Amino acid sequence: MRLILLGPPGAGKGTQAQRLVEKHGIPQLSTGDMLRAAVQAGTEVGKRAKAVMDAGELVSDAIVNAIVAERIDQPDCARGFILDGYPRTLVQADAVEAMLAERGIALDSVIELVVDDRALVGRIVKRAEDAKASGQPVRKDDNPEVFEERLREYYKKTAPLTGYYYAKGRLKTVDGMASIDAVTAEIGKVLAAAAK
Ligand code: AMP
């Protein structure tokens, strides 16, 4: 199964992706996680991405496309993968099409988690508090100021992807304001319908 999860920061893509990993045994490819790992490891990519990420802006298409192209060729992606936080621009969406076509594989579903913006800042603040309480590092971009910029980037560059996939007849929407379990159940229904 090859799936794209769309939605603004704080929509719950990561949480749902983790549940899908457990259920389907395929990896979650989060470009945010991959970039944070690169920053942590101090790689060339990490050095270039750090300031951009800290400011809540998007890392260049060339960097993320290259990271994903390399990642989907790993053996654990052979049975499928969940793209979480990628693609985030129309250029990236075209890159996904090309990557899949080159490999002779197809996308099964694109699912957008539809959420109310007003709830998002609260979710991000809570995510930072939870991370702190459990002794995990708090993301530098999980604060209300940077979040505003992340949301602006989302509307400018990522939101057009819903139209892109809708026009291709691929977009499915799920109410991301429902409980985590209810969202998981809805996603399950969408995937079951797509598999028929
Ligand atoms: P995330 O963990 O998905 O919220 O991503 C954290 C940050 O990493 C974003 O605010 C961007 O700076 C960067 N990032 C993650 N994925 C992408 C992407 N597909 N394109 C560009 N930048 C990205």
Ligand 1 pocket by C-beta < 6 Å: which residues? 9, 31-32, 35, 52-53, 56-59, 64, 85-86, 88, 92, 141, 150
Cα 194 to chain centroid, rounded: 20
Helix pair angle (90-103, 160-167), 10° resolution: 40
Per-residue pLDDT tens digits for 19-55: 999 999 999 999 999 999 999 999 999 999 999 999 9
Q: Which atom of ligand 1 is nearest to the CA of 86?
A: 19
User: Residues 117-160: pLDDT tens digits?
Assistant: 888 988 888 989 999 999 998 888 988 899 999 999 999 999 99
| Phi, psi dihedral angles at 90 (to 5 degrees) | -65, -35
Model pLDDT for residues 89-117, shown as the tens digit of each residue:
999 999 999 999 999 999 999 999 999 98
**Cα-to-centroid distance, 86 and ligand 1 (Å):** 8
- Residues in a beta bridge with 74: none
Q: Name residue, tokens 């929509």.
A: 11
